[in-house]
Amino acid sequence: MTWKMLKEGNRVYFEPMAVAFTDVPIKLSHFVKQRSRWARGMIEALREVKPWQQPLVFYKFLTGIDLIILYMDFSYTFFWIPGLILALFFKKYYIVGPMMLLVLPLTLASFWILYRFQSKVVFKNLNLRVRKNHIGFIIFILAYQMIMSPVSLYGYVQELVGIKRVWE
């Protein structure tokens, strides 16, 4: 909806004091369903409003970030995870090395930018303290991406082939 408003020349404002929460799934199967629905929504938005059709360069950039997310999910699923398995169990580094150089810095940078922005703009204004746990942050990024990327690709494929949506 936001992308469509931007495409039509309307203005959209960011309100840093608006806070929303989502229910966190307790079971892995519920997590997979939730995140695959979110991934389907991203594909639906990309189909509806293409980033390159946005009127302003800044809007093209903001909406184009989802194309980077697609790349990251594809790379993690088909290169990073298999490459990591080959490296750990078979001492073959020809996949994980190059893909780590392409994907891991992009992942670290995107999470770091989100963290910095939220801590300075959102959390500070709400008087919330963010605990600093750098090792936990790195482990979170690695583990989360390894779970999320295949789940997201699953959602992308569901949307692209037109599988019926399940909301339970």
Domain ranges of the chain: 2-161
**pLDDT tens digits, one per residue of 46-90:** 888 888 888 888 888 878 888 888 988 998 898 888 888 888 899
- The CA R_g of the chain, rounded to the nearest whole Å, is 18
Q: What sign does the CA torsion over 111, 35, 2, 124 have?
A: negative
pLDDT at 157: 95
Q: Could you give the CA distance from residue 168 to residue 153 in angstroms, rounded to a whole number?
A: 20
Q: pLDDT value at position 100?
A: 72
pTM, entire model: 0.76
DSSP three-state, residue 102: helix
Positions in the chain whose pLDDT score sits under 50: none
Strands (E), the chain: none
Closest by alpha carbon to 112, among 131, 134, 96, 97? Answer: 134
